[in-house]
Structure 1
Amino acid sequence: MLEQTIKQLPSSPGIYQYFDKNSRLLYIGKAKNLSNRVKSYWQFTPTLCANSNLSLRIKKMIEQTVSMNYIVVNSEHDALILENSLIKQLNPKYNILLRDDKTYPYIYLDKSQKYPRFDITRKIINSKDILYYGPYSIGARDILDSVYELTKLVQKKGCLKSKKLCLYHQIDKCLGPCELPVTKERYQEEIDKATSYIKNKKTLIHKLQEKMEFYADEMRFEEAAELRDRVQKISRSEITSDIDFATNEDYDIFAVRNTSSKAVVVRIFMRSGKIISSSHDYININEGFDENELLFRALLDFYKDIKPPIIAPILISKDLEELNLLQEHLSRIFERKASISRPLRGKRKDLIELAILNADELLNRDKNVNNTKILHEIQELCSLEKLPSRVEVFDNSHMSGVATVGAMIVYENSKFDKKSYRTYHLEAKDEYAQMRETLTKRVNSFTKSSPPDLWILDGGATLLKLAIEILNSSSVFIDVIAISKEKVDAKAHRAKGKANDIIYTKDDLFRLKNSDKRLQWVQNLRDEAHRSAITFHKKTKLKLDQESKLLNMYGISEAKVKKLLQHFGTFNELKNLSIEEISTVLNVKDAKTIKEYYK
């Protein structure tokens, strides 16, 4: 069947998907010519098998492949877009997935304003009078706040509208153009000063340190501490360099380095001949690792499909096999020809060497060794397909069927990623249906937020099976484990310090000692999910109680409110119902009262 599918492939552009014997997605690839590309993986005599000149990684993947699908598209560029989208949604075993979905902020100045002020944006503003500075990986807000600390610009957007001097003028932080006759030349002096701080971090940090010392001498310790923290944050994105560019050149620099267990992507941004910021991402190496693909994905994911405010030539640390395709793709986004090159000499090569030096340093000083050790132990214990670098943990909470909520917490790079936490209002009444609703909501969001390496559920074998069924129906593979409290006399038992919980996998269950680090690691994540769910439940319950009291004042009793919520789920649902719908639960008089209340 597989051989027949391969031999009948069209010579059209498209994407192809390889699956293993369990129908698990192994790999998604793109092709200008599907027939030629896919056939290059295989030899057909004497039997269908992996081509002998493939890399060990690809050969291992082909040996696991028992079936394939393909989708025909109009062009190679369309294939690139579809491939990238599907990789993010489905997280195949042998593809590299970068989860850095954030866009980087820029500081901008609108010169068309009479008294312009600096602000932050993450996208292009439709005006020819905008000046951009950036991008900034971290510290953009701190730089902006520092500029307003050290200059006398208009501090807030609404200041000029008041046409009346405010506190900022009184404390000598604003020239007061809202009321005073400030000349354009005088205000420009402050703009120039602010611009010099934005362009030169060393000058900015030096000025902040001077002001910090002044505050300390004046015993204004809180303000001094605030500036100290700001200096530290601004300094964190700083890479020092002795490279001297005589001209005002801009470059985006990308480098990839790896050890046997970890890779790192480094991005450095040079503007006007000075390095203004940098960022990096660690990648735990698994069977899907390929340095060329990692660099390709890093470029594809950084620029996404949004034209950046500043378009700079791109320097890369190694040659790319599909450079022309990437240049064509970025040229469409930039709306002009994209420049991507690997410099071999001169100062541009020195920039690449600087990026590689920092990448090697990041790998050497990576502090997650102990964390990686426990991750490998969890992977081995639970027979996980991937090292669980990013983990999502789920729990639900309610009180007698009221204020039913779900929570998802995220653990990555040795810490809880609280910006990625999610909470859900649920309508389901029992634990099984609640978890189904929570997990389904998460699966539906994979198009916006890529799947993790591992799910952990607060529950037993039944909920574990449910999660696997939901994922299978969505053609997404994620390792799943569950953890439940041990039962004593048919009741969940949790004695402090003796929490002998049970870990469930698809094929086994483990009763580890409560001193086992692997159990403690899973318990720690489960407890954080429980805390998040309980916190959100309490907030929801408080809001419901307040709404209930208001309805009580209109003559709807607590018992009737509870009956409504048990039937319809939330007050938000109740607001949108008709009198006829409400009267299916309460009488018509009460239904009219409730509709009158919500009017």
Structure 2
Amino acid sequence: MQLEEKLKQLPNDAGVYQYFDKDGHLLYIGKAKVLKNRVKSYFKFTPKLLPADKLGPRIHKMISQVFSVEWIVVPNEHDALILENSLIKQLKPKYNILLRDDKTYPYIYIDYSELFPRLEITRRVYKNKNIKYFGPYSTGAKDMLDSIYEIVPLVQKKSCIKGKAACLFHQIKRCHAPCEGKINTADYSKIVETALDYIYNKSKLIAKLTEKMMEYSEDFRFEEAMKLRDRIKTIEKSQIKSGMDLATNENIDLFAIKAGKKKAVIVRMFIRDGKLTSSSYDFIQIDYVEDEDESTFDLNEAYKRAIINYYDNEIPVLPKEVLTAIEVDEKEDIENFLYETFSKKIKLFNPKKDKKKDLIQVALNNCDELLRIDSSKNSTNIYEELKKLFNLQTLPYRVESYDNSHMMGQATVGAMVVWNEELNAFDRKDFRHYNLESKDEYSQMREMLMRRVDSFEKNPAPDLWVLDGGSTLLKLAYDIIQSVGVNLDIIAIAKEKVDAKAHRAKGAAKDIIHYRDQKGEYRELKLLTSDQRLQFVQRQRDEAHRFVINFHKKQKRTEDKQISLLQIKGIGEAKVKKLLLYFGEFGKIKSASVEELKEVLNEKDAIVISNYFKQKEE
């Protein structure tokens, strides 16, 4: 059906709309209170169907590529906003602003209902009015807490207070032993206030750690000094120095966004009890703008995405208001989203005077500094070269690489490793292992990638997948992402075949990279071993291979142990596999009764196995 005819069928309901190009690629996802009015506003209909005159450069370019439109009707605008946000995270439309950082941040908390309360870290929200939260922290929470426990003599462990005798922590003067009644609750509360002062005043904590680091260095305790140096650097990363106190007890969240030529940056600041307690930042890629004109970056959409993504989680401490560095166009929609989500009125506010305006300026100054530091990096060129060489849609700033491993069908596992351009290194906290059920390598890769696709809503897709394999696996991966409509680039890297075997001679291994060109045809490319683009891809593949092999060895040892224990008195590998298939794990076989074992094997074998484990226990 022609686009113009499809536009005439738009309903007067709330919903989400999706624009596609002539090749069926998803261009944009938006939400509307009235679909008919919103979607038609992008077009003019005379003398022929064209983009509307008042569109910005980015949206004008996008609308000129629209070939078809689809929509989903929902009961109200709030539901449309939720669905829009979910679909954008899962499907990565080309012209939407894509944010990665929508995870739940850790908080430090203290439970005042305890006689001798401690500081702890959590990502959960506890239904307890006596709990006070500090944060959120994008980085440094654990380092702060470890440091405070070394400096301040709080109760060091949960189990300490339950003990009846002072432990080692008391002997080394890191605890006043409330377990033996050596400190009362009033004096202990003063110690808690000292600890909280370090949370509110990171500069004071850093100064104390620096003092300790110098003492270690003077005593030639260099290893301990280096650990403190690294801890100080981590805590400093979470700190924005404002030098300001609002002189109130308000809880306020602040969002500031600025765009450079190739990236934009979001700075978030969190004011608790009138003091700046933590901050975080993230970059947004802007590689679809050909003329590099800053005005083509949609600040309004960026603010909307940033705020909705952040508050689409459980939040222990809700702000009284959210400050933004600009007047956000869809302010009422976002305020309604916050009210519907938390049953609390939270106002969006762009301050024009006083200390709140000064706080906005602090955040914007940090945006400028982060963009300056990022633009000075020399490593960016490799991403541009990869994009050009392999016909990628976006710069591959975040790369996920996959490999799988097994031995004769035993201990079948897969692994995903993640490269993060901002770190200029592998992001090991995001690495994942997969226990796989499939028997052949093709099915194993399919199982692993399908499981990853299923998690896109919670953990959005990267810019690029790298597969250890050839054109067959590359086509498989494209079939998977096309079946769910995700915009995602993929390449595969395989060893050169010599006499039908992979050529792995040290120093002479020649890899072939498989990719898809602009016409959608599958190509292969051989690069010189000295080519930095090849070396970058090889590094991704090799890390995935290392990670999966280590996991395979661990799983293989576990399975070997299980099999060796059960190979007793005629209980061979075939019977072991039957038992593992039925019970799922070795521990359940060990604790199973004779009657339960008879569900899988005959009575004689069931008795033999049951008696064996009973004798082992005796």
Report the Cα offset of residue 434 of structure 1: 1.4
Report the Cα offset of residue 236 of structure 1: 2.2
Alignment match, 2:196: 195
Distance in structure 2 (CA, Å) of the matches to 1:54 and 1:455:
34
Q: CA 1:347–1:167 in structure 2 vs 1: closer, same or farther (change >3 Å)?
A: same
Q: CA 1:215–1:417 in structure 2 vs 1: closer, same or farther (change >3 Å)?
A: closer
Report the Cα offset of residue 313 of structure 1: 2.3
Alignment match, 1:240: 241
| Equivalent pair of 1:410/1:420 in contact (CA under 8 Å) | yes
Cα deviation 1:538-561 (Å, max 9, x = unaligned): 111111111111111353335765
Cα deviation 1:441-486 (Å, max 9, x = unaligned): 1122223211122111111111111111112222223211111111
Q: Does residue 483 of the first structure (1) align with residue 493 of the second (2)?
A: yes
Q: 2:515 aligned to 490, 495, 505, which one?
A: 505
Distance in structure 1 (CA, Å) of the matches to 2:54 and 2:375:
38
Q: 2:542 aligned to 499, 508, 527, which one?
A: 527
Q: Does residue 434 of the first structure (1) align with residue 444 of the second (2)?
A: yes
Which is worse superposed, 215-224 or 280-289? 215-224
Q: Which runs of 5+ in 1 are unaligned?
A: none
Which is worse superposed, 243-252 or 567-576? 567-576
- The code of the aligned residue for 1:416 comes to F
Report the Cα offset of residue 598 of structure 1: 9.1
TM-score (norm 2): 0.90
Alignment match, 2:315: 307
Distance in structure 1 (CA, Å) of the matches to 2:123 and 2:419:
26
Which is worse superposed, 360-369 or 185-194? 360-369
Alignment match, 1:282: 283
Which is worse superposed, 400-409 or 206-215? 206-215
Report the Cα offset of residue 222 of structure 1: 4.4
Alignment match, 1:130: 131
| Equivalent pair of 1:132/1:310 in contact (CA under 8 Å) | no
Alignment match, 2:97: 96
- The code of the aligned residue for 2:349 comes to S
Q: CA 1:278–1:305 in structure 2 vs 1: closer, same or farther (change >3 Å)?
A: closer
Distance in structure 2 (CA, Å) of the matches to 1:368 and 1:398:
44
Query: Identity of aligned pairs, percent?
Result: 53
Distance in structure 2 (CA, Å) of the matches to 1:296 and 1:357:
21
Q: Does residue 551 of the first structure (1) align with residue 593 of the second (2)?
A: no
Q: 2:341 aligned to 321, 327, 333, which one?
A: 333
Alignment match, 2:178: 177
What secondary structure does 1:505 align onto? strand
Which is worse superposed, 176-185 or 348-357? 176-185
Cα deviation 1:53-77 (Å, max 9, x = unaligned): 2222212222222222111111111
Cα deviation 1:372-429 (Å, max 9, x = unaligned): 2111111111111222222111111111221111111111222211111111111222
Q: RMSD of aligned C-alpha atoms?
A: 2.8
Q: CA 1:391–1:596 in structure 2 vs 1: closer, same or farther (change >3 Å)?
A: farther
Distance in structure 2 (CA, Å) of the matches to 1:368 and 1:550:
59
Q: What is the correspondence of 1:344-383 to structure 2 with a 5 Å cutoff? A: 344-366=352-374, 369-383=377-391
Distance in structure 1 (CA, Å) of the matches to 2:121 and 2:583:
40
Alignment match, 2:556: 541
- The code of the aligned residue for 2:233 comes to Q
- The code of the aligned residue for 1:335 comes to S
| Equivalent pair of 1:391/1:456 in contact (CA under 8 Å) | yes
Q: 1:318 aligned to 326, 344, 354, which one?
A: 326
Alignment match, 2:478: 468
Report the Cα offset of residue 310 of structure 1: 4.4
Distance in structure 2 (CA, Å) of the matches to 1:574 and 1:4:
62
- The code of the aligned residue for 1:541 comes to K
Q: CA 1:274–1:571 in structure 2 vs 1: closer, same or farther (change >3 Å)?
A: closer
Distance in structure 2 (CA, Å) of the matches to 1:550 and 1:143:
46
Q: What is the correspondence of 1:155-304 to structure 2 with a 5 Å cutoff? A: 155-218=156-219, 220-243=221-244, 245-287=246-288, 289-304=297-312
Report the Cα offset of residue 214 of structure 1: 4.0
Report the Cα offset of residue 316 of structure 1: 0.9
Alignment match, 1:458: 468
Distance in structure 1 (CA, Å) of the matches to 2:29 and 2:599:
48
What secondary structure does 1:366 align onto? helix
Report the Cα offset of residue 177 of structure 1: 1.1
Cα deviation 1:222-267 (Å, max 9, x = unaligned): 4444333332322222222344544444432211111121111111
- The code of the aligned residue for 2:537 comes to V
Report the Cα offset of residue 159 of structure 1: 0.8
Report the Cα offset of residue 21 of structure 1: 2.0
Q: Which runs of 5+ in 2 are unaligned?
A: 290-296
- The code of the aligned residue for 2:443 comes to A
Which is worse superposed, 312-321 or 568-577? 568-577
| Equivalent pair of 1:426/1:569 in contact (CA under 8 Å) | no
Distance in structure 2 (CA, Å) of the matches to 1:454 and 1:417:
15
- The code of the aligned residue for 2:345 comes to K
Which is worse superposed, 92-101 or 206-215? 206-215
Which is worse superposed, 533-542 or 263-272? 263-272
| Equivalent pair of 1:554/1:597 in contact (CA under 8 Å) | no
Cα deviation 1:501-541 (Å, max 9, x = unaligned): 11111222111111111111111111111111111111111
Q: CA 1:100–1:543 in structure 2 vs 1: closer, same or farther (change >3 Å)?
A: same
| Equivalent pair of 1:239/1:278 in contact (CA under 8 Å) | yes
Distance in structure 2 (CA, Å) of the matches to 1:574 and 1:134:
42
Cα deviation 1:331-353 (Å, max 9, x = unaligned): 23343211211112222211111
Q: Does residue 82 of the first structure (1) align with residue 73 of the second (2)?
A: no
| Equivalent pair of 1:551/1:597 in contact (CA under 8 Å) | no
How many residue pairs get aligned? The number is 595
| Equivalent pair of 2:176/2:183 in contact (CA under 8 Å) | yes
What secondary structure does 1:280 align onto? strand
Distance in structure 1 (CA, Å) of the matches to 2:604 and 2:414:
34
Cα deviation 1:314-336 (Å, max 9, x = unaligned): 21112211111001111233432
Distance in structure 1 (CA, Å) of the matches to 2:612 and 2:95:
57
Q: Does residue 406 of the first structure (1) align with residue 418 of the second (2)?
A: no
| Equivalent pair of 2:300/2:328 in contact (CA under 8 Å) | yes
Alignment match, 2:531: 516
Distance in structure 1 (CA, Å) of the matches to 2:162 and 2:583:
45
